Amino acid sequence: MPTPSRKRRRRRAWLVSAEGFRELRLSCLLSRRTAAAFLGVSPDTVRRWDRGRQRVPWAVVRLLRLQRLGDLGALAPAWDGWRIDRDAIWSPEGFAFRVGEVGWWGLLVAQARAFRERYDREAQGVGPCAHDCDFRRFFAG
């Protein structure tokens, strides 16, 4: 016996009005031509969005929000509170991470993990392992 088909809920497309798009574009200080170059579309496409003759893709709105506000939360909820400002990424707590510093994140995380594992072993009374490095020798004069 065939199972009854379920009706799928139709997802509502997020729409931005022509006026809303134009306002967003102008708030980014972008002419139609520069907006087209920035977004990788033709100037005619931007013109159609401006006039409301073609639906503006949500990705375009998010990218323009990112351009205008530096708001990374416009890309994904996980980035809420993070923003980009010229030469730095700013955390929600107000810490700035500059271009040269970002390359060190992987090393920082690896060091933090190693120190945490060593601390946990010593807290359990196991003591340092043979492969643990004595960091004091690196800092000795």
Residue 2 lies in a domain: no
Give 70-115 pLDDT, tens digit per residue. 777 767 788 888 888 767 888 899 988 887 787 788 888 889 999 9
Q: Which residue range is the domain that position 93 belongs to? A: 73-101
50 and 36 together in one domain: yes
49 and 22 together in one domain: yes
Residue 46, pLDDT above cutoff 90: yes
Alpha-carbon distance of 30 to 38, in angstroms, equals: 9
> What pLDDT is attached to residue 106?
81
30 and 58 together in one domain: yes
Is the model more confident about 109 or about 141? 109
Specify the pTM: 0.49
30 and 53 together in one domain: yes
Give percent of the chain above pLDDT 70: 78
Number of domains the chain is built from: 3
Residue 6 lies in a domain: no
46 and 77 together in one domain: no
